[in-house]
Structure 1
Amino acid sequence: MKAAATFTTRLIAAIALIVSIAAPALADAPSAADRAFRAQVAQFVEAELRLYPERATHLGDHRFDDRVDDVSAQGIDAVIRHANKWIALFRTDDPSHLSPTNEADREWLMAHTDGELLWTEQVRDYQRDPEMYLPTSAVNALIKREFAPAVVRMRSVTAREVAALKNLEAARRNLKPALTPKVFVDIALQQMPATIGFFNNDVSLAFAKVADGPDKQAFAKANANLAAALDDYAKWLKNDLMPRSLGDYAIGAEAYLRMLNDADMVDMPLAQLEQVGVKELARLQEEFKKTAALIDPKHSPAEVMESLSRVHPDTNQVLPTVAAGLASIRAYVIAHNIATIPSDVMPMVRETPPYARATTFASMDSPGPFEKTSEAFYYVTLPDPSWPDAKKEQLLAFFSAPSISDTSVHEVFPGHYVQFLNNRHNPDIVRLIYGSGADIEGWGLYCEQMMLDEGLHDGDPKYRLAQLQMALMRACRYLVGIRMHTQGMTVEQATKFFEDNAYQTPHNAMVEALRGTGDPGYLRYQLGKLMILKLREDVRKQQGAAFDLGKFHDAFLKQGAIPIKLIRRAMLGSDGPLLQATTSP
């Protein structure tokens, strides 16, 4: 009875938290329909937090830290029932009776929930992706921030590790050789030594100072059992699943279009989307050539970029160099009124967790909106010490001074970190929790160009060349994502495409191609940037001489990370075209 009472108390507290966050929206939406919708939203969010305990942890709701997402057959059925139920309920709401904000939230929640059906019911990731059964991110979320005493978090890790064993068992039943691509198995195996090392080393070290006793012993046993189970899983992947894997990583045109609708509310024919990408790639290549000629007209653009990439910090100096540059970029944003930064807290620069470094160069990990701690991590990927020197050098080429600056603008100031800081104060729980990838990544990529346009680094062409190279990489992602998943482009062809069109080293080009196999939506960077530029142009035309760039950025960020289609509606009063018109193919 005591446990039940405690659970009920915590549940009531959680609902009170949701209602309190949503309360400001209620003040602006007094109608009965609006009040009913906000109550419906609170129920939906609570259902989502219970269904996805790992997501709840990342958001900073720690009621379910002792659980993992259930990927058994019963768990998958629960996800499908949940999504169908809520889509049906949201459809019963009459949009004409809702405020513009609530109607936008309703549209966004329906799209988001259909996305859950897309990946579970149509694409069936649980039958084709070995990595979704790994508990690394779920456990790392409990050790990387000190949101509770170590002994409390250790108990949660113990329970989560025990629960993860069932998911590893479910993987053997769920994964279908006919649907599982060999490249997915290969990526999982590439990261497995680092994954097992994470549990043997990092997780154990996180609780080294906890006093010995029954809790510590239970943790040690659970951690050792999980590491052993992961080793067995790796052997099963290599010896059993890999030889029989015949699946295609491509999700197909129908699923691709549905993904764009669900994730970013973009509804355009694939041929038109591809043409937009071809046009932008050509524009960027021409600008890249002109900028390279300003630096060194006697050498080819590729040679100029390669010469700049050779000048980089040693491995042990990458993190200090990245950290040292953040303060000056932040000061520039403030001095030039580019965007409001509502906090003086700086993110901590850390090495990317080893289990995650196979497909990323840098990333921003901000605390969830419900988290009390303000610890934010700017992750940077360093070479694996076991790599040969030539491979290490190819990765380090990413960290020339201009490239570091460009990446920090994207990830921190005024990119993802500033977007997080602004959105953390959003009174609308829908916008607090759910984000559109094209909005989030589009904002980061937009900032890379915008900051140089606004005078950062005083027009130094070396910094512009680095920004253009990164823009070319995202332009390649845009086209590779479409072509890999709808036109049969292979990993080898995608790798060469990145080398030829984005001046990437062979290693970095392969990283990008491999990412594309499992991330069909990584066109979101350029797609979002182009939509933001179109929105900015249309707002400028509407406001005329009154247009102010800093105010535009603040107004954009105030809307939350919802699809840009909905932000256009809020800022312009109508939807309008999301992208500049192109000539029909």
Structure 2
Amino acid sequence: MKRKLRGLPFMLACVSSVLLPAEALAQRRGARRVSPRPRVSLETVNARFNQITDAYLSGYYAFNPSEATALGLHEYDAQLESRSPEAVAQEVRRLRAALSALLRIWDGALSADARLDYQVLVSHAQAQLLELETVRMWQRDPNIYNRLAASSIDNILKRNYAPIEQRLDALLAREREITRLLNEARTNLDNPPRIYTEMAIAQVRGSREYFSRVVPQMIERAGGGRLSAARRAQIETSNESVIAALGSFGDWLERDLLPRSAGSFAIGAENYRRKLLYEEMVDTPLAHLLANGERELRRTQEQMRSLAEEIAPGRGITYALRQLASEHPTADGLVGDARADLLRIRAFVRTQNVLTPPPSENLIVA
């Protein structure tokens, strides 16, 4: 349970060592706590919490199988996300039931570690509900679908966690579902912000390049040369179908969705406040956060003006940034320069005794 729980995307990086009292936590969440039955043993409460946690995580990773793969949970490798309205509604029901069960737990009876896990789970469930029911990025951001299509395959290929044949079975299973996922996007997306659609159009072009060029290279490096001709043909056909599906999706984004993309990217102050509370456990008033941010912006701008004066005296920040941007490798020399930079970084790490890189772990720039 612990290993999976710490993989949650909203796991708090710095949970205070002083736990909130149970009553304060309930008030902060806006939830009504249910008193525990009398004479319930501590072991029973902890066992019930562990049971709820395991069920919660299983459901979460079933809804987000690509994330599970990225975290090393490979029982979900052959599955691809569904974001159909029916799948989202089912996940909302599951989250509500899990949250209700959690709020019936007497967290005062939990161990210290379990109380931290309890706070994380309650916040995570509320964050997921806020996203799926209110913010609804699955209806507003077309790049969610493109990103899932690419990352679901990348997470299988970039780590050598199983023999290549086993991973290719998972790859093929997911690639068969990508067209279905992109069709769900066509159904779901409704008046997204124009900038979201423009970004997705550009990203889809990159994903097509990824499937046409990078995926075959990754398969080859993982041992694809040992595959039979029939197996290689199967993979090539599957990959080509994904490239075609992404091409069709990109055309739809540009010709259909973009002209009607006039929504706002703002989610509103109250939703933003709740996101901060649920995802980060930050309850600082937004006005204070804004004032702090503006103060930091002014400080940063002053530092930029000072540095710009050193780089290009009298020319200003914009000119200095353009001058810095002009200093880059050529397209033909990019890979070689990146490889040389990596060698310098590796040498520095070793000579300065920062750490000892494992001999088997060696980044390759190609």
Classify the TM-score, shorter chain. Answer: 0.7 to 0.9
CA contact (8 A) 1:129 1:180 kept: yes
Alignment match, 1:52? 64
- Determine the C-alpha separation between the residues in 1 that align with 2:196 and 2:329: 33
Alignment match, 1:360? none
Residue by residue over 1:1-52, the C-alpha shift from the partner in whole angstroms, topping out at 9 and shown as x without a partner, is xxxxxxxxxxxxxx89869x9xxxxxxxx94133443343233222222222
Alignment match, 1:319? 338
- Determine the C-alpha separation between the residues in 1 that align with 2:229 and 2:343: 42
Is 1:78 the counterpart of 2:70? The answer is no
Query: 1:103-252, aligned counterparts within 5 Å?
Result: 103-134=115-146, 135-176=149-190, 179-207=191-219, 208-212=224-228, 214-252=230-268
Alignment match, 1:41? 53
Shift in alpha-carbon separation, 1:202–1:18, aligned structure 2, 3 A? closer
- Determine the C-alpha separation between the residues in 1 that align with 2:230 and 2:77: 20
Equivalent pairs counted in the alignment come to 320
1:209 aligned counterpart, secondary structure: helix
CA contact (8 A) 2:46 2:109 kept: yes
1:157 aligned counterpart, secondary structure: helix
1:348 aligned counterpart, secondary structure: coil
CA contact (8 A) 2:205 2:250 kept: no
**Amino acid corresponding to residue 258 of structure 1 in structure 2:** R
**Amino acid corresponding to residue 327 of structure 1 in structure 2:** R
Residue by residue over 1:313-340, the C-alpha shift from the partner in whole angstroms, topping out at 9 and shown as x without a partner, is 54244412431343366469856xxxxx
Is 1:65 the counterpart of 2:94? The answer is no
Residue by residue over 1:274-302, the C-alpha shift from the partner in whole angstroms, topping out at 9 and shown as x without a partner, is 10011122223334455666x56954563
**Amino acid corresponding to residue 59 of structure 2 in structure 1:** A
Larger mean CA deviation between 45-54 and 133-142 belongs to 45-54
Alignment match, 2:292? 276
Shift in alpha-carbon separation, 1:171–1:309, aligned structure 2, 3 A? closer
Query: 1:106-505, aligned counterparts within 5 Å?
Result: 106-134=118-146, 135-176=149-190, 179-207=191-219, 208-212=224-228, 214-290=230-306, 295=310, 298-299=313-314, 302=317, 311-314=327-330, 315-327=334-346, 330=349, 344=358, 348=363, 350=365
Deviation at 1:273, TM superposition (A): 0.6
Shift in alpha-carbon separation, 1:92–1:180, aligned structure 2, 3 A? same
Residue by residue over 1:198-227, the C-alpha shift from the partner in whole angstroms, topping out at 9 and shown as x without a partner, is 222322343352523554443333222222
Alignment match, 1:378? none
Residue by residue over 1:519-543, the C-alpha shift from the partner in whole angstroms, topping out at 9 and shown as x without a partner, is xxxxxxxxxxxxxxxxxxxxxxxxx
- Determine the C-alpha separation between the residues in 1 that align with 2:96 and 2:348: 46
Cα RMSD, aligned residues only = 3.2
- Determine the C-alpha separation between the residues in 1 that align with 2:4 and 2:335: 44
- Determine the C-alpha separation between the residues in 2 that align with 1:174 and 1:298: 52
- Determine the C-alpha separation between the residues in 2 that align with 1:115 and 1:16: 20
Identity %: 25
Shift in alpha-carbon separation, 1:210–1:158, aligned structure 2, 3 A? farther
1:320 aligned counterpart, secondary structure: helix
**Amino acid corresponding to residue 324 of structure 1 in structure 2:** L
Shift in alpha-carbon separation, 1:282–1:243, aligned structure 2, 3 A? closer
Shift in alpha-carbon separation, 1:319–1:245, aligned structure 2, 3 A? same
Alignment match, 1:99? 111
TM-score normalised to the size of structure 2? 0.76
**Amino acid corresponding to residue 165 of structure 1 in structure 2:** T
**Amino acid corresponding to residue 348 of structure 1 in structure 2:** L
Deviation at 1:69, TM superposition (A): 0.8
- Determine the C-alpha separation between the residues in 1 that align with 2:212 and 2:329: 30
**Amino acid corresponding to residue 269 of structure 2 in structure 1:** A
2:225 aligned counterpart, secondary structure: coil
TM-score normalised to the size of structure 1? 0.49
**Amino acid corresponding to residue 137 of structure 1 in structure 2:** S
Larger mean CA deviation between 122-131 and 317-326 belongs to 317-326
Shift in alpha-carbon separation, 1:290–1:193, aligned structure 2, 3 A? closer
Query: 1:551-570, aligned counterparts within 5 Å?
Result: none
Deviation at 1:125, TM superposition (A): 1.4
**Amino acid corresponding to residue 226 of structure 1 in structure 2:** V
CA contact (8 A) 1:162 1:222 kept: yes
CA contact (8 A) 1:53 1:67 kept: yes
CA contact (8 A) 2:157 2:167 kept: yes
- Determine the C-alpha separation between the residues in 2 that align with 1:18 and 1:197: 33
CA contact (8 A) 1:210 1:216 kept: no
CA contact (8 A) 1:54 1:68 kept: yes
CA contact (8 A) 2:124 2:279 kept: yes
**Amino acid corresponding to residue 199 of structure 2 in structure 1:** I
